Structure 1
């Protein structure tokens, strides 16, 4: 039976910190495609307070989450335990995009670990509902290691490569919703 929590208490924060990945789901207001994205790198997620979380958004093949948040703000984050503790935790809320060239981003930065070379934005979520479920059918998996491929790929990209992404496949969602603005900063321009 699912349990609803009033806030992100110490036990939930511990559970979140122990997970090696999480999933993010968003959708446009009408029709369109529901987006569900796996996210890795443990140092990219942070609990900011009892009702606020954030994660670092890295350049990827598209920008569905950013486009959907700009349109309606709805977002769900899901953590699954793959070890002997069967548990799924969902954080339902309203998210917003914080550009890395903003003053707010500078206040968020200390909550995260390493500087990832493909940093695109921070996603800040006001959590409105916190609920768990059993996860009894989720299989056991052993983590071998974090996959370094995305950071390695971004390390090889030039400013011109990122500029093409900003103007191209990261400028709109698959549904044609606006995502990154043309003046979005290049990762090389982000203070470290």
Structure 2
């Protein structure tokens, strides 16, 4: 059943690496604000240390995770084993959002593969709780591949189109919290 870990050991890091999707949940401080849960994939997650992880984030229709990280830092990351033995892994922690041009961007970006056209941030998380649960209720699914639509869409938009889209959709969150610093409403 469930277990709490002091660190992300090699076994947990291997579990993370084998998963094709993970989920990110954040919320604003306001009690009537929107809680956000986002699925992530495309080989964008890295374990950087025993209690430090990061993932590459892309321009999208909203900017909730970045805005919530900037407001309060609270985050939980979740993986479900959709193949093989059942398991759920959660990493609770404090997130910070780094954008291209920030002092640490280049060093962090080096942990990921080739550049992608719609990169907007790296979310770095310092874990405060690392835990597993059984996952017995998670269904089995077969992974058949990554979608290509994000990169295709970004290529069609081009750099200027992406900047305009981000300015329209990523400047503030649904609750009006500041989003990307690199864009203006």
Tell me the TM-score range normalised by the shorter chain: over 0.9
More divergent stretch after superposition (31-40 vs 104-113): 104-113
Native 8 Å contact 2:68 2:74 kept in 1:
yes
Q: Partners of 1:34 and 1:101 in 2: how far apart?
A: 28
- Matching of residue 116 in structure 1 with residue 116 in structure 2: yes
Q: Partners of 2:109 and 2:168 in 1: how far apart?
A: 27
Q: Partners of 1:122 and 1:157 in 2: how far apart?
A: 21
Which residue does 2:86 correspond to in 1?
86
Q: Which runs of 4+ in 1 moved over 4 A?
A: none
Native 8 Å contact 2:60 2:169 kept in 1:
no
Note the C-alpha offset of 1:2.
1.5
Note the C-alpha offset of 1:102.
2.1
Q: Secondary structure of 1:60's match?
A: coil
Q: Secondary structure of 2:90's match?
A: strand
Native 8 Å contact 1:82 1:141 kept in 2:
yes
Q: Partners of 1:98 and 1:153 in 2: how far apart?
A: 23
Residue by residue over 1:53-72, the C-alpha shift from the partner in whole angstroms, topping out at 9 and shown as x without a partner, is 00000111110001111110
Which residue does 1:39 correspond to in 2?
40
Q: Secondary structure of 1:92's match?
A: strand
Aligned residues: 183
Which residue does 1:178 correspond to in 2?
178
Equivalence map 1:35-184=2 (5 Å): 35-42=36-43, 44-181=44-181, 183-184=182-183
Native 8 Å contact 1:67 1:172 kept in 2:
yes
Q: Partners of 2:82 and 2:159 in 1: how far apart?
A: 38
Q: Which sections of structure 2, spanning at least 5 residues, go unmatched?
A: none
Q: Partners of 1:162 and 1:152 in 2: how far apart?
A: 12
Native 8 Å contact 1:165 1:171 kept in 2:
no
Q: Which sections of structure 1, spanning at least 5 residues, go unmatched?
A: 185-192
Native 8 Å contact 1:23 1:39 kept in 2:
yes
Native 8 Å contact 1:66 1:179 kept in 2:
yes
Q: Secondary structure of 2:104's match?
A: helix
More divergent stretch after superposition (58-67 vs 154-163): 154-163
Q: Partners of 1:90 and 1:105 in 2: how far apart?
A: 25
Which residue does 1:28 correspond to in 2?
28
Q: Partners of 1:38 and 1:78 in 2: how far apart?
A: 9
Q: Partners of 1:120 and 1:159 in 2: how far apart?
A: 12
Note the C-alpha offset of 1:84.
2.1
